[in-house]
Amino acid sequence: MTHKDLWNSIYSKLTQSLPTHAINTWFEPIVPIALTDNELVLEVPSQFFYEWIESHYMLSLSQTIQDVYNKDLKTRFIISAEKIKLNTATPGRHPTEKTNIQPVPALNKNYSFESFIEGPNNQFAKIAAETVAGDPGKNSFNPLIIYGGVGLGKTHLLHAIGNTIRLNSPSSNIVLATSERFTLDFVNSLRKNKTVEFAKHYRRSDVLLIDDIQFFRGKEQTQEQFFHTFNELYQSGKQIVLTADRFPGEMQGLQDRLLSRFQSGLSVDIQPPNFEMRVAILMDKAEQNGVDLSYDTIEFIATHVKSNVRDLEGIIIRLLAQSSLMNQDIDFNLVREVVRERIGKTAVTDLTVEDVVRRVSELSNISEKEIVGKSRKMEIAEARQVSMYLCRNIMGTSLNNIGVYFGGRDHTTVMHAVKTIDEKRVKNKRVGKIVTSLKQEFSFSLT
Ligand code: ADP
Ligand code: MG
């Protein structure tokens, strides 16, 4: 058996036991290098990668190896130097690109499908975008509408579609604009009596990409223009791709006839990234920017910065800036500081009473239901008081609100609970431990 055959069997076996996103993120990039009598050598893209596999998947991996190989075999990981080089060498990697293909104004070359990290939150949107890019105008996804919250990769996918089509068919006329640009172009054309030119520019496109159509809201005349452009392109089989901040059906201030046109195509959403995705994104962005981050650090950032990809990226850039400007090493304190500064406020609002109760429940082995319930049993009452204390202490939730949440108790009961735990956490080891560890976990809210 060669190392490749062996790895293929291991890989396919793993796909049966691990979730797809884990396979895609952590196993797909592994390259088998060699197989000796007692060792299988695997190449991984980075130190972090290795550490992650080591701490999360070693058991599954060695079990699977035993299953398919029937012989004692150690695994050794080596870290790919190649990969890092590839990433930093990206600009100018396609020398032919520059000479043969006309650049499309405003198309960001860095926004490609390759650089788009895929996870359960965006898989469907990415597949739809790739399909459209591979076969513009000739599929039933017309228009394709990608929608979701800020910083989740809508613009990235829109540009990736444009970039791909530009590479595949250099002669096709790709027109990209934000809805604001479209509006501005239209208004200017009115002022300068050039509405014909305006219409020509947009209606001559083979592929029309319009970013953030929610800004068409309330602009009747612009919508009218857009409607005609849309119809003309649609009828002649041209591809239209739009992005929006919400499901088109829920968009107010857009004409019904536009909304009904949108229904003839496909709307796909992008959701905020889950923890594994955030880790994968941080890894990738850190590597791209040449920032060396330890496993702990990445996990720490991924735990606290939850909102969107732009914020994750922002943290990496800020770390890079801070460390080079201040000539400071990127240590845990710096990371903490940067994270706190960037998202301190969001973290406070992100945290809910439910989060606190859930964590207390996990640490105390008392169910969430019991914690918010009526039981006076000692351990249960204590877990309840600890939860109340943490809500008050970390989030500053009002005594009344805490009381309401915990089974309709009045504010004096809550006050008593807070006082009790404040004393107990010093004297009682178990209480002290829970309080300290959860305070640390939620520490961003403590400033
Ligand atoms: P949106 O248009 O949804 O507000 P963007 O497309 O501007 O978000 O994304 C914000 C930043 O995050 C961009 O720099 C983009 O490259 C990056 N980004 C978003 N999603 C991903 C992803 N899945 N993989 C890699 N980078 C991403
Ligand atoms: Mg955008």
Are residue 145 and residue 242 in the same domain, yes or no?
yes
Paired residues of 79 in beta bridges: 44
> What is the secondary structure of 352-384 as a DSSP string?
-HHHHHHHHHHHHT--HHHHTS----HHHHHHH
Q: Which two tokens stand for residue 42?
A: 């695997």
Give the pLDDT mean for 37-54.
Answer: 82
Cα separation values, 44 from 293, 380, 407, Å:
16, 47, 51
DSSP per-residue letters across 220-288: HHHHHHHHHHHHHHHHTT-EEEEEESS-GGG-TTS-HHHHHHHTTSEEEEEPPP-HHHHHHHHHHHHHH
CATH code, domain carrying 426: 1.10.1750.10
| pLDDT above 70 (res 443) | no
pLDDT at position 36: 87
- On whether the CB atoms of residues 185 and 198 are closer than 8 A, the answer is yes
Asked if residue 251 is part of any domain, the answer here is yes
- Looking at the fold, whether 228 and 127 belong to one and the same domain comes out as yes
Pocket mutation for ligand 1, best pick of 124, 309, 317 (most atoms within 8 Å of C-beta)? 309
CATH number at residue 298: 1.10.8.60
Q: With respect to residue 244, please indicate whether it lies within any of the assigned structural domains.
A: yes
Total count of domains within the chain = 4
Per-residue pLDDT reduced to its tens digit, 329-371: 888 888 888 888 877 655 555 677 888 999 999 999 999 999 9
Answer whether residue 162 is part of any domain: yes
Using the mean position of ligand 1's atoms as its centre, give its distance from the Cα of residue 310 in Å. Answer: 6
CA of 154 to the centre of ligand 2 (A): 5
What is the position in ligand 1's atom list of the atom closest to the CA of 212? 2
409 and 291, same domain (yes or no): no
Whichever domain contains 205, its CATH number is 3.40.50.300
Do 266 and 289 belong together in one domain?
Answer: no
Is residue 212 lining ligand 1, measured as CB closer than 6 Å?
no
Burial category of 239 from C-beta neighbours within 10 Å (exposed 0-12, middle 13-18, buried 19 and up): buried
What is the mean predicted confidence (pLDDT) over 300-321?
A: 87
With beta carbons less than 8 A apart as the criterion, state whether 431 and 421 touch.
yes
Q: What pLDDT band is residue 445 in, cutting at 50, 70 and 90?
A: very low
The burial class, CB within 10 Å (0-12 / 13-18 / 19+), for 54 is middle
Q: What is the pLDDT of residue 342?
A: 75
User: What does the alpha-carbon distance between residue 205 and residue 253 come to, in Å, rounded to a whole number?
Assistant: 26
**156 in the same domain as 67:** no
Tell me, what's the pLDDT at 279? 93
Give 314-320's long-range contacts (Cβ < 8 A, gap of 24+): 314/342, 315/282, 315/339, 315/342, 316/282, 316/285, 316/286, 316/289, 316/291, 317/289, 318/342, 319/291, 319/293, 320/289, 320/290, 320/291
The Cα–Cα gap between 6 and 39 comes to 12
Element containing residue 9 per DSSP (H, E): helix 3-17
pLDDT more than 90, % of the chain: 54
Query: Does residue 287 carry a pLDDT above 80?
Result: yes
Residues 217 and 183: beta-carbon distance below 8 Å: no
Does some domain include residue 109?
no
Same domain, 312 and 242: no
91 within some domain: no
Residue numbers of the domain that contains 362: 353-446
* pLDDT tens track for 135-187: 999 888 999 999 999 999 999 999 999 999 999 999 999 999 999 999 999 99
Angle, nearest 10°, between helix axes 275-288 and 309-325?
40
With the most atoms of ligand 1 within 8 angstroms of its CB, the residue from 310, 312, 315 to mutate is: 310
Cα 102 from Cα 26, distance rounded (Å): 37
Q: Does 209 map to a domain?
A: yes
Please report where in the chains the tokens 């208004």 appear, as a residue.
Answer: 187
Centroid of ligand 2 to alpha carbon of 245 (angstroms): 9
Measured by CA distance, the residue closest to atom 18 of ligand 1 is 153
Of the bound ligands, which one is closest to the alpha carbon of residue 118? 1
Both tokens assigned to 180? 């604001």
pLDDT of residue 88: 35
The answer to whether residues 135 and 257 belong to one domain is: yes
Asked which of 270, 285, 310 is the last residue of a domain, the reply is: 270
Tokens at 146, concatenated: 């990608």
14 and 61 inside one domain: yes
219 and 128 together in one domain: yes
Query: Is it the case that residue 98 has pLDDT exceeding 60?
Result: no
State whether 131 and 259 are in the same domain.
Answer: yes
Whether 436 has a pLDDT exceeding 80, the answer reads: yes
- Asked if 244 contacts 252 with a C-beta cutoff of 8 angstroms, the reply is no
> Which pLDDT score is estimated for 238?
97
Q: Which amino acid is at 295?
A: Y
Backbone angles phi, psi at 35, to 5 degrees: -135, 120
Residue 98 lies in a domain: no
The whole-model pTM stands at: 0.62
Q: Is the CB of 150 under 6 A from ligand 1?
A: yes
Does any ligand 1 atom lie closer than 6 A to the CB of residue 122? yes
Question: Are 77 and 131 in the same domain?
Answer: no
Distance 302 CA to ligand 2 centre (A): 22
**178 CB within 6 A, ligand 1:** no
CATH value at residue 41: 3.30.300.180
Asked whether the predicted pLDDT for residue 446 surpasses 70, the reply is no
Q: How far is the CA of 263 from the centre of ligand 1 (A)?
A: 25
Residue 106 lies in a domain: no
266-270 sheet: strands from edge to edge: 174-178, 207-211, 239-244, 144-148, 266-270
Determine whether the shortest distance from the Cβ of 120 to ligand 1 is under 6 A: no
Last residue of a domain, one of 326, 347, 368: 347
- Residue percentage of the chain with pLDDT more than 70: 91
Structure tokens at 8: 């293929």
Residues 369, 342 share a domain: no
Q: Number of C-alpha atoms within 13 angstroms, CB side, residue 115?
A: 23
Of 248, 270, 292, the domain-final residue: 270
Residue 444's pLDDT band (cuts 50, 70, 90): low
Burial string for 73-85 (b: 16+ CB within 10 Å, else e) reads beeebeebeebee
- Is there an atom of ligand 1 within 6 Å of 153 CB? yes
